[in-house]
Structures are given as C-alpha cells and as structure tokens.
Amino acid sequence: MYPKKPPMGFNTWNTFGENISADMIKQTADAMVEKGLRDAGYEYLVIDDCWSERQRDPETDRIVPDPVKFPLGMKDVSDYVHEKGLKFGMYSCAGVRTCADYPGSFDHEYLDAKTFADYGADFLKYDYCYKPRHEYGPLLYRKMSMALRSSGRDILLSACNWGCDDVHKWIRSTGAGMYRSTGDICDNFVSFRDIFLSQLDNFVYSAPGCFNDIDMLTVGMYSRGNVGSTGCTDTEYKLQFSLWCMFAAPLMLGCDVRNINDVTLKLVTNKHLLRINQDEEGRPPFIAQYESDNYRNVYARVLSDNRLALLFTNFRDEPCRTWMPLENLGIPVNVGKGLRLFNALAGKDEGVRKESVYVDLDAHDCAVYLAEIVDA
Ligand code: GLA
C-alpha cells in the first residue's frame, strides 16, 4: 500500500489504552462521521494494543480477540467501520509480545497477516517491544511487509520502532507506508516540542510512499486518558497541530472524538492546514529563519500550486517577535516581488509584505500562512 498523502485517522491508544471495546469503537466510528471528521479526511480507525486474549489459541495458533471487549469478534467491528465509509486498522508487534504484554507476531508473521486480512484490516501498526536480541530489525519489518503483501488485502504497514536503528535509512525499502521516529508522546507541551525538534533533520526522510510519523496527536485530550499527563492549552494544541500539518506528518487523532469540543473540531478540520498537510508533492519544509535554540524558527514549504506554506513558531515561555526576510525564501529585495499572505488559522487575507515578515506571537503560539509570490 503506497500512501500518496500522510495517512489520517484515529487511534485508540492515547485516550483509551487498554479500555477498548466493540461498543467504544462503533461509537467512535459514528462520531467520526457525524462530526465531519471522515469527510475532512480522517479515514482510518485504528485499534491499538490490548485487543486480544493474553495467549494464542492453542489449536490454531492464531491471536484471538478478547471475548469480553469484542464479543462478536473483529470482523463484526471491521464491517461496522467499513459500513460507515471508514477504513479499519489493527495493531501487532514485531517481537514475541506486544508492549502491553499480549501476543506479538514474531515468527507468526504470515499467519497473523492472514488473520488481519480475514478481519478486513486496511492498516497495521507494527510495534517493536520484546524483539529477540539477535534478530535484525529491518528483516522483521520486511517480513511483515511481505506477509501483508501476500495476504490478499491492501494493508498499510505503519511501522513503530520509535526511531531505533536509524530507521529512516531503511524503512522505506521495506514497503512500510509510515514509520514512528520517536518515543511515545504524552499530553503536555514539552513532550510534543521535544518530539518535533528531535526530527528536524529527519523530515527529508518523509515523502509520498512513506511518511515520518511523530506519533498520534494529543490535541483535544486536555489531560484526560491513557497518556493524559498535564494536558495542553488550546494555544499549545494549535501549535502541535500546525507542526504536524506543516511537516506532512500522519494525522492520527488521539482524543475521545465522541466528546470532541468545538475548538478542537474546528482546529483539526481547518481546511487550510489540512491542505498543507496533504499537499500532493509532499515536499519537506526548510528552516527559513533559524534561532540557535530552534525556539523561534520560521519554516517554509513549497506547495504544489506554487504557493508557500509558512509557519512562525514560538516555543519560548514568553511572547516574542518572530521575523523572516523574504531573501531567505529565495526572493531578493531587488526583483520586484512580495508575498500575499493568507492567514490559515484565522482564515483571512493579510495583504502583501515586501522585504520581510514580522509576526508577534504569545508564548507557545504560532502563525501559519499560505503565501503567494506577487509583483510588489
Ligand atoms: C508502544 C507504542 C505506542 C503504543 C503502545 C501500546 O509504546 O509506541 O504508540 O502502541 O506501545 O502498548
């Protein structure tokens, strides 16, 4: 499965952890449709860890869904998700056990790929816990990729080895469609700031076919749930979502979408931000203005319609002025050109700037523009 654009959807882990069930998944599917998330592009509904029994079926050797959480089995849940016009995602692990100590797929890759295909899965998140020491990581991802490719279903492989073993150098060659490049996110500002900054040099290893996944979003969690932590402010969630969009990261919602509030819904369905995230050329951004601690950088990204996306960031704990000369974009002062700015978050035109752009930002705030090069 070759994703042309960063995959979008919802994953159970951030909010629900082990507290998952068929009812909760079906209600989430309903909410994704009713709240307009599906129509905005959030198509995958992914069940993360803790969905199975603790041991494989001794007779068939297959992984078996937990009969209390999923009394009618997985195909029933998958059918419901498909009927809603969504795609269905499952989870397993390259090691012998999953991270939460359920059966992993090590040495069972082809059997499990067939099981997931029988469920009607369209997506498989594939974790890295309990990997036998002597086993070669790239081979384990290659194995599951080949198992999925021979399963009879088109299943996107979402690798999750947290950036270990220089994953960005080999993961694309395995056939995976996205790959986790960092440790787990928690719902607080420092967590998403550090995850993002750790990947500044690695976004060039993200393109149509295989995208750098900086983890599921915590936007809208407000400290509730499995990775709840201290929570973020709405300003911080706006920054998180803008970073993920600007860097063409997969957008997997992690909040409880059944109770999503209006502020969060408006943010995650902002069509200008999603347009940037889903740009068909999938070019990486570059740093258009650099500060030594990376706390006030400006990023720019060339889009397929000849516009530029611009992201002004303030990771500092106090307000600041961010600044970028147009020269840094490749637009010198003496060529008679300027930038017409459209504020993507506010949804309004802000006129033409020549020579440079200044933006005043609150602590942990950002501004995103779609910019057109015009005569000026
Ligand atoms: C790892 C992954 C998480 C989640 C948990 C489940 O920590 O990185 O995203 O899937 O396992 O146990």
pLDDT at 308: 98
Neighbours of 257 (CB within 10 A): 24
Give the mean pLDDT per block of 10 residues along the chain (376 residues).
Answer: 95 98 98 98 98 98 98 98 98 98 98 98 98 97 98 98 97 98 98 98 95 98 97 98 98 98 98 98 97 95 98 98 97 97 98 97 98 97
pLDDT at 33: 98
pLDDT at 292: 87
Residue 29 to residue 57: CA distance in whole angstroms? 29
If one residue of 18, 98, 102, 160 were mutated to test the ligand 1 pocket, choosing by the most ligand atoms within 8 A of its CB, it would be: 160
Compute, in angstroms, the gap from residue 142 CA to the centroid of ligand 1. 20
Q: Which residues on adjacent β-strands are paired with residue 369?
A: 310, 343
Nearest residue CA, atom 9 of ligand 1? 184
Residue 215 annotated to the active site: no
Question: Closest Cα to residue 105, out of 152, 160, 39?
Answer: 160
Compute, in angstroms, the gap from residue 329 CA to the centroid of ligand 1. 38
Residue 89 to residue 46: CA distance in whole angstroms? 4
Compute, in angstroms, the gap from residue 60 CA to the centroid of ligand 1. 27
Provide the whole-model pTM.
Answer: 0.98
